[in-house]
Chains A and B, each alone.
Chain A
C-alpha cells in the first residue's frame, strides 16, 4: 500500500474541522438546518473535494469534472462550506445560508456554483449519479461520479432500484458512500428499519463493498483508491461514522438531526469543542 503524506492527512483533518465549524456557524445563524448529518459527513467531504475529485472552481460546468451528488441533501451546510473553501464561491456567502435572498438554498440546488445535482427528497441521488456515469461512458470521458447517501436514506426503495441498475450496467465509474451514522430524524435506524447486514445487502446487489471508519481520512483515501482500481462493477464505501461528530452533545443522538444549537451557550460550546479538536490535529 502506497504511503500517504502525513502532512496531507493533517491538512484534510483541518479542513474537515473547518467544515464542521462552518456548519455550526451557518446553521446557528440561520437558526435552521441539519447539524447531525453535516458533522458526520465532514471528513468524507473534505477528502472528496480537497484530495480525490478533479474539479475546477473557475469552471464549475467543466465537462470532464468529477461529479458529486449529495443524495443526503440535508447535509447541505457542510457541502456548501466545502464548495466555498474550494473556491466555487466566496466563503462570506456561507453566512447567508437559508436566507430568502441567498442562492444557498436549504437543500442543494443548481443555483449554487459547483452543485451537480439538486437533492433533498431522499433516495433519488444515486439514480442521478447513474445517469451521469452512463453519460460519461457514452461520451468516453474518464470522469468519476461520487454519491453520498445517508443510512436512513437507504430505507427509500428508489435507492435499491438504483443499486440493481448500477451493477447491471457495470458502472465502475460510480462510487456510492453511505454515511453510516446509525441515526435518522426520529430515532436510531435499527429501531426504524433493520439495515444490517448492510455490507451483505450491497454485495448481494452486485457491488464491491468496502467498510471503513468514516472519520479516518487515511481510510477514506485508501477506500477511494480501491474503488478506482475496481473494474466492471460499482463500489460502495460503508463509512461508519458518528452522528454529530465533534460536538459532544450532538453525538449519537437524533435530537440534533435537524435542529441548531439551542442557545448561545450551546453554540459557544460547540465551537470551543471543535477548536480543541483542531489543536489536537
Chain B
C-alpha cells in the first residue's frame, strides 16, 4: 500500500521533469512552480518512508523493463530508512533550489529540472530495488543524471574535466558492483535479491563479493584512493546539486554496502570489519587534514564529506567485526552510530553546501580568502550555517555529537574480542577517531570564521544580499531537523531500531526506551548516559542567569569604539588570517600528507609574490602511473591502426580464419 503511494510520488517527479522539458526556458515557471512541487512531493515521500519503517515489508513487481525480466521492488526497514533520508533532505534542497536556479548560462532551467528530478527518482528506485537488474539500471541513471547536473556550466573546461573524472570513477565502481552481483547469484542465473539471500556461498566467494562491493560502493562514497572525484565535482556543480550529491547520493553507496554486507551475504568474516575499519580511518584522517588546508569553500566541504564517509566506514566496520564474532549487542550499537550519522550528515552537510550556494550567489566568490564579514549582510544564512558547523564539528547538543558519542561508546564497551591483536587495535582506532573529531572542529571554525566573521576582505562584499525567502525556508528546514535530532535522539534511535532489528536481529530501543525519552542511555544509566535537552537547559540557564545577574547587580552599559588590537593603529581587513593562514598549523603538523610547492619571493623583489600549492600524493603515486600505463598500451595498440583499408580487410580475414579454426575444433 505504502509502496504504491511511493511509486505514485516517484511518478509525480517524473511528470514534473517532463513538464520541465515542456517549459524549457521559462525560468520563473520552473523555479517557482516545479521545484517547490518536487520539494513537497519529497516531503510526502519522507512521511511515507517513515510510516513504512514501522510496518511490514512490502514487495511489488512492475511490468517495466525487458520481457520476462520485470522490475522487482521491495520496501523493507533498511530501504525505508534510507528513503526517509532521501526524502527529508531532498525536500529542503528542492525548496532551496527553487530560489537558487535562475536565468543564466549553461543548461536551461527546464533541462535542469528534468535532470534533477530524474536524479531524485533514480536514487529512490536504487534503494527500492529488489533485483540486480533494477539496481544497476537505476544506479547508472543516477550516475548519468548527476553527471549532467555537475556539468551544468559545461562551457567551462575545468567543469567538463571534473564531470569526466566523476563519470569515470562512477563507472569503475559500477563494474565492481555488477561483478559483485554476479558472484552473489552463484551461477543460478537468477538476479533477484531473494535468490541471492538464499545462496550459501563459501567464505572465499563471500569475501570476493564483499571486496567487490567495498570497491564499487567505495568509489561512489569516495573512499581512499577513489576519492579524487569528490573535491573536483562538488565545486563544479551548482550548490543544490552538490548538496544532493554529498548529503544524499553518498548515502546510497552506504545503503548498498549495508545491503550487501548485512542482508545479501549470509556470513560475515572478522577481517572484513578490520579492513573497513582501516580503510575508513585512513580516509577520514586524510579527508579532515586536507579539508583544513583548502581555500575553496566547496572543496573544503567536499573533503569534509570524505572524512564523514570515512567515519561511517569505521562504524560499519566495527559493526561487521562484532557481528562476525557474534557480539550482537555491540554490533547493534556500532550500526546505530553509523545510521545516526547517515541522517545527521545528510542534513548538516546539505545545509552547509546550500549555505555556500547562497554565499556564492551573493558574492560570486568561492575563494575563502576573498570573503569575510558576511554575517553582517547575510544574517540568515550565517546563523543557520552556524547550526551546521556546530553539528559538523560534533559538538553537543547537536546531531553530530550523538553519532560521535555512540561510536565512541561502542569502542569503549569493546571488551574481550577473541583475537588479542584486534583487542589492541580497538583503543588505537578510538584514539584516532577522537583526533579526527577534534580536527573537524578546527576545519569548521575555519570555514565559518573566514567566510562569515571578521571584516570584509573585499569592498564589494558589503553589498552582498541575504538569501531569498525560498532559500531561507530550505535552509531552515535542514537546520531545524539537525537541531531536533540532536536534542531528541531517542526518537531517531527508535526508528533506527527497526533497521538494526532487520539487519542484526537486535535493537537498542528497548533499553533506550526503558530510560525514558529524556536521557539517552544505550546500555544502562550507570554505564553511559547523555541528555541533550538537560545539557542545553543547564547551559541555557547558566547563560540567562549570568545575563540577569550582571544586569541586576551591575549595569548594561556599552560603548562602541574602534577595535583595540594591542593598540596597533593601521589595521586593515587584509591583516586577518586568510584560509591559507588558518590552515598553516595543519600544513606544518601533518606535512607528510601533502605534496607542497612553494614559491618564495627574493628580498629584492619589487612586487613580491608568495605562492603555495598543496596537492594530493595520490595523484602522483596512484593515478598518474595508471594513466601512463594506459597511454603506453594505447601507443602499442595504435600500431595496429594504419589507416589503410587493405590492412583492415586483412584483419577481418585473419579474424575469420581464427574463428573458423576455433569452431572446427
A and B interact:
no
